[in-house]
Chain A
Amino acid sequence: MDPESAIPYGRKTQHAPALHEVHILWITAGLGCDGDSVSITAATQPSIEDVLLGAIPGLPKVHLHNPVLAYENGAEFMAPFHAAARGEMDNFVLVVEGSIPNEKINREGYWAAMGTDPDTHEPITIPQWLDRLAPKALAVVGAGTCATYGGIHAMEGNPTGCMGLADYLGWDWKSKAGLPIVNVPGCPVQPDNFMETLLYLLYQLAGLAPMIPLDAALRPKWLFTRTVHDGCDRAGSYEQALFATEYGSPNCIVKLGCWGPVVNCNVPKRGWINGVGGCPNVGGICIGCTMPGFPDKFMPFMDQPPGAVLSSNLIKSYGGLIRSLRKLTNSTVNDEPKWRHNRPTLTTGYRR
Chain B
Amino acid sequence: MADIAAPELKSGKASEPAKLVEMNWDPITRIVGSLGIYTKIDFEQRKVAECYSTSSIFRGYSIFMKGKDPRDSHFITSRICGICGDNHATCSVYAQNMAYGVKPPNMAEWIVNLGEAAEYMFDHNIFQDNLVGVDFCEQMVKETNPGVWAKAQKAAAPHAEIHGYKTIADIMTALNPFTGEFYRETLHVSRYTREMFCLMEGRHVHPSTLYPGGVGTVPTIQLFTDYITRLMKYVEFMKKVVPLHDDLFDFFYEALPGYEEVGRRRILLGCWGSFQDPDVCDYNYKTMTDWGRSMFVTPGVVVDGELVTTDLVEINLNIRILLGSTFY
Q: Which residues of A contact B (CB under 8 A)?
A: 29, 31-39, 41-42, 44, 47-49, 52-53, 67-78, 98, 110-116, 123, 151-153, 155-160, 187-188, 247-250, 253, 256, 267, 271-274, 276-280, 282-287, 289, 295, 299-303
If A69-B30, A113-B56 touch, does A158 touch B215 (CB 8 Å cutoff)?
Answer: no
Q: Is B82 located at the chain interface by the 8 A CB criterion?
A: yes
The answer to whether A67 touches B27, judged by C-beta atoms less than 8 angstroms apart, is yes
Residue numbers in B under 8 Å from A279 (CB-CB): 202-203, 208
Task: Check A277 against B199 for contact (C-beta < 8 Å).
Answer: yes
Say yes or no: B206 contacts A42, CB within 8 Å: no
B residues contacting the other copy or chain, number (CB 8 A): 78
In the complex, what residues of A have CB within 8 A of residue B83's CB? 34-35, 38
Question: In the complex, given contacts A75-B3, A247-B213, A299-B72, what are 7 additional A-B residue pairs having Cβ atoms less than 8 angstroms apart?
Answer: A29-B27, A37-B82, A41-B126, A42-B194, A274-B195, A277-B201, A301-B75
Q: Tell whether, in the assembled complex, residue B205 and residue A39 are in contact, meaning their CB atoms are under 8 Å apart.
A: yes
Q: Which of A49, A68, A111, A253 contacts B30 (CB 8 A)?
A: A68
- Nearest-CB distance from B33 to chain A (Å)? 6
In B23-66, the 8 Å CB interface with A consists of 24-34, 36, 56-60, 63-64, 66
Roughly how many angstroms separate A270 CA and B213 CA in the complex, as a whole number?
Answer: 29
* B window 65-100: CB within 8 A of A: 66-69, 71-72, 75-76, 79-83, 85
- Which stretch, B164-172, B183-191, B258-266, B269-277, touches the partner chain A? B183-191
Rounded to whole Å, the gap between the CB of B216 and the closest CB of chain A is 3
Which residue of B26, B190, B215 contacts A248 across the interface (Cβ within 8 Å)?
A: B215
Partner-A contacts on B (CB < 8 A): 1-3, 24-34, 36, 56-60, 63-64, 66-69, 71-72, 75-76, 79-83, 85, 105, 107-108, 126, 130-131, 134, 139-140, 177-179, 184, 187, 190-192, 194-195, 197-199, 201-211, 213-219, 226, 327
Given the contacts A253-B216, A302-B71, A76 and B1 also touching, CB distance less than 8 Å? yes
Name the A residues within 8 Å of B219 (CB-CB): 248
Q: Which residues of A contact B76 (CB under 8 A)?
A: 152, 155, 295
CA distance A113 to B55 in the complex (A): 9
Decide if B191 touches A44 in the complex (CB within 8 Å).
yes
Q: Which of A33, A44, A113 is in CB contact (< 8 Å) with B85?
A: A33
Residue in chain B with minimal CB distance to A274: B195
Provided the pairs A52-B178, A157-B67, A283-B209 are in contact, do residues A277 and B202 lie with their beta carbons within 8 angstroms? yes
Instruction: Give Cα distance in the complex from A70 to B202, angstroms.
Output: 29
Question: For B213, what are the chain A residues with a Cβ–Cβ distance below 8 Å?
Answer: 247
CB < 8 Å neighbour of B205 from A38, A151, A287: A38
A74 lies within 8 A of B27 (CB): yes
Partner of B187, one of A41, A71, A282: A41
CB distance from A31 to the nearest CB of B (A): 5
Residues of A within 8 A of B26 (CB): 74, 115-116
Distance of A205 from chain B, by nearest CB (Å): 21
B86–chain A nearest beta-carbon distance, Å: 11
Sample (30) of A-B pairs whose CB atoms are under 8 Å apart: A31-B57, A33-B32, A35-B82, A38-B83, A68-B29, A69-B130, A71-B139, A71-B140, A73-B27, A75-B1, A75-B3, A75-B24, A110-B56, A111-B57, A115-B26, A153-B60, A155-B76, A248-B107, A248-B214, A274-B191, A276-B199, A276-B226, A277-B201, A278-B198, A282-B198, A282-B217, A283-B217, A284-B210, A285-B208, A299-B72
Q: Answer whether A34 and B64 are a contact pair too, CB < 8 Å, given A113-B56, A248-B219.
A: no
Cβ contact within 8 Å between A74 and B67: no
A249 touches B205 (CB 8 A): no
Query: CB distance B202 to A77 under 8 Å?
Result: no
- List chain B residues, Cβ under 8 A from A36: 82
Contact A29 B34 (CB under 8 A): yes
How distant is the Cα of A331 from the Cα of B240 in the complex, in angstroms?
53
